[in-house]
Structure 1
Amino acid sequence: MTAVLAPAPRLDELLALSAALHRHLCPRQVLGARMGLLAGRALDMAVPRTDKKLMVLAETDGCFADGLSVATGCWLGRRTLRLLDHGKVAATFVEVRSGQAVRIAPRTDLRARVRAGRADGQKRWDAYMDAYQTWSDEALFTVTPVRLTLDLAAVISVNGKRAICGGCGEEIINEREVRRDGAVLCRDCVGEGYWQPR
Structure 2
Amino acid sequence: MDIQQLLEISSRDHSHLCPRQILGVRIGLAGMNALGFSEPPSKKQLVVITETDGCFADGLSAATNCTVGHRTLRVEDYGKVAATFVDTITGRAIRVAPRLDIRELACTFAPEESRHYFAQMYAYQVMPEWEMLTMREVVLNRSIEKIVSRPGMRVNCDVCGEEIMNEREVRQHGLILCLPCAQGGYCQSKAENFLRVAQVEEV
State if a TM-score over 0.5 links the two structures. Answer: yes
Q: Give distance in 1, aligned partners of 2:176 and 2:155.
A: 8
Residue pair 2:52, 2:77 contacting (<8 A) in 1 also: yes
In 2: Cα distance, 1:97 partner to 1:73 partner: 17
Once the 2 structures are TM-superposed, how far is the Cα of residue 193 of structure 1 from its aligned partner? 1.1
Root mean square deviation, CA, Å: 1.5
Separation in structure 2 between the aligned mates of residue 142 and residue 191 of structure 1, nearest angstrom: 35
Correspondence for 1:128: 120
**Equivalent residues of 2:110, 2:122 under 8 A apart:** no
Aligned to 1:76: 68
**Structure 2 SS opposite 1:17:** helix
Kindly state the Cα deviation for residue 121 of structure 1 after the two structures are TM-superposed: 5.1
Residue among 46, 49, 55 paired with 1:54: 46
Confirm or deny: 8 A CA contact 1:164 1:184 kept in the other structure: yes
Q: Post-superposition shift, 1:84?
A: 1.3
CA positional deviation for 1:49: 3.4
User: Contact 1:104–1:142 (CA<8 Å) still a contact in 2?
Assistant: yes
Separation in 2, partners of 1:121, 1:39: 29
Deviation digits for residues 67-116 of structure 1, max 9, x if unmatched? 00110111111111111112111111011111111111111111122235
* Structure 1 moving runs of 4+ over 6 Å: none
Q: How does 1:4-153 map to 2 (within 5 A)?
A: 9-115=1-107, 118-120=110-112, 122-153=114-145
Q: Deviations over 1:123-165 (max 9, x none)?
A: 1111001000011101110111222222222111112211111
- 1:80 is matched by which residue type in structure 2? T
Unaligned 5+ segments in structure 1 are 1-8
Distance in 2 between the 1:88 and 1:80 partners? Answer: 19
Contact 2:113-2:119 within 8 A present in 1 as well: no
CA–CA distance in structure 2, aligned partners of residues 49 and 122 of structure 1: 40
Q: How high is the TM-score relative to the length of structure 2?
A: 0.88
Q: Compute the TM-score of the two structures, normalised by the length of structure 1.
A: 0.90
List runs of 5+ in structure 2 lacking aligned partners: 191-203
